[in-house]
A and B are shown apart, each in its own frame.
Chain A
Amino acid sequence: MKILVPCKRVPNPELKLKISGGAVDLAGTTWQVNPFDEYAVETALRLTEKSKGGERSGEVIVVSIGPRDTGTQLRQLLAMGADRGILIAGDDSALDADLVARTLKAVVETEKPDLVVMGKQAVDGDDNQVGQLLAGYLGWPQATFLSTLTLTADGKSATVLREVDTGVEERRVRLPAIATVDLRIIGKKAVRNEALSGPEAEWEDTQRLASLKGIMAAKKKELKEITAESLGVGGGILVKTLRHESPPSRKAGVKVASVEELVSKLHTEAKVI
């Protein structure tokens, strides 16, 4: 099982976002792997091992588009356990979901993975598009917003649960396919490859951290730097960012001293009950 995991670097979402002059100021930020993509790497690792850190079968390739520094994030994913990395040179701010998807299509055509697993969205752009676009461009089936993913023993299909507005939807999907993962995919029993482990298999309720051994091993793993041009990807972006603004802030509220005062204010002042 060969699994490709596209990953994006994002500015630390816990830091206060600075916006000035119509632009987001990221000069002082720290960068990290998009949390959903980190979950996708964890998903891919589980699909290629019998148990956590146990006997492995298959290959996990992480790929990112970004400036050279993005190699730091890819190295971290290699330290988690991914087998090799590909960094495609690019400027984060000059990309859109469409260009990312077309670039990934070229990577898929070169690498020919059995499965592409990625986060359902990046927590900076919040587009929630790339997986679906990539599936559309490849003409592959798509399984989006997954909370579970089970590969069948023959390695030809997957059974998934998707988080949808009205509950949880169960689907079967034929490989090769695009899978995008939601938060719950890192549950203890959310992911399993039937060819490698039984229903009793269980992982930790979170994504794994890189071990010291993993960090050492990552230094020797292949991290190939290439350009979009070398992949034959041309054309520009389809969605231009005009400007960023801070959202209108809510006016300061009041603290009430008691439940009586709260109910009274909701009734007579806010008129909502």
Chain B
Amino acid sequence: MSATIVFLETSSTNLRSASLPALTAARALAKHHGGPVIGVVIGASVGAAATDAARYVDKVLCFDHPALAPALAETWAPLLATAVKESGATALVASATSTGKDILPRTAALLGAGMASDVVAVLGAKSFRRPTYAGNAQTDVEITTAAVVCTARQTEFAPAAPAANPGTVENKDPGAINALGSEFVALHATTSARPDLAEAKVVVSGGRGMKEAANFKVLEELTDLLGGALGASRAACDAGMVPNDLQVGQTGKVVAPELYFAVALSGAIQHLAGMKSSKVIVAINKDPEAPIFQVADYGLVATWESSLPQLIAEIKRLKAA
């Protein structure tokens, strides 16, 4: 009967939706560990966000200090480790966001705990299933230490709903904060009116075959018509057609929308690793041998130039009907 700790990310006054899958994974772990689910919120002026986060858990431990913003593994990992130790927790989980992936392994080192990355299923108190080899294998692992650490792949755990009764918020003194000389300078954020790639119901991705940045306009039109998010292959990002944070794949974002359009995109192994779990995959490619057709539910052998304008017109007609 020991607690499960879930690392919760916040933005201004709210829990970030990116942490909702971690809560689901935490509840699954708590079934095996027998104790409560305790959230940890860290940052500067995060009181309101901690209250919001408490709706999902039995208790929130809140480390609120001006020197704790923004997230730095150097200052946050020791607090997470402290929270685990003081609560006598035997499990620590976070969503596999860029922040979770940065901070959780460092925390595991501080705890001397084994860690499973990017898990897609909780199999037991200490065992997990996770993709390896760019998604070409799924691997079951077992952690041998008393406490276990894992990050949860966001697309594989449904967003958690609030608990029946909101939990309490306990403010914790972070003690001495030492960033070891690391310093946040700026976030050059990509602003978009579109939904977040990892959470969108529809994703439209373009590949090398789009040839140049200007051609993504037509993909954007399709994206917006479907209320989706825009993605891209590594080749398209590397060619500078779109910003790097649109990259879908093993080393980019992992997405699993209801509907995924792969346009002028061959389907390299590392791209497939990032979108194979999509419910319905549509591939449009002029090369009938493109590997993307092997995972597509619906394949259309055509150039994007000849098919996309018509596709947009047809969908508009359907929506108008």
Contact = CB atoms under 8 A, between A and B. Distances in A.
B189 A166 contact: yes
For the complex of A and B, the 8 pairs showing the least CB-CB separation, nearest first, are A174-B181, A136-B109, A238-B114, A132-B105, A136-B106, A170-B185, A164-B98, A129-B105
B184 A171 contact: yes
Given A255-B299, A266-B259, 13 more contacts: A13-B270, A14-B269, A123-B133, A129-B115, A132-B104, A145-B101, A145-B102, A173-B181, A239-B143, A241-B141, A254-B298, A263-B311, A272-B280
B271 to A, nearest CB: 13
A159 B183 CA distance: 10
Interface in A141-172: 141-145, 147, 157, 159, 161-172
A179 B80 CA distance: 22
B113 interface: yes
B131 interface: yes
A272 B259 contact: yes
A124 B190 contact: no
A136 B108 CA distance: 8
Given A123-B250, A241-B141, A141 B181 contact: yes
Nearest to A98: B114
Interface residues of B, number: 88
A259 B145 contact: no
B68 to A, nearest CB: 16
Interface stretch (B23-31, B82-90, B289-297): B289-297
A240 interface: yes
A250 interface: yes
For the side of the interface on A, what is the size category? 35 or more
A125 B97 CA distance: 18
Interface in B90-107: 97-99, 101-107
Contact of B314 (A136, A236, A263): A263
Given A126-B133, A169-B184, A262-B311, A239 B141 contact: yes
Interface in A104-137: 120-121, 123-137
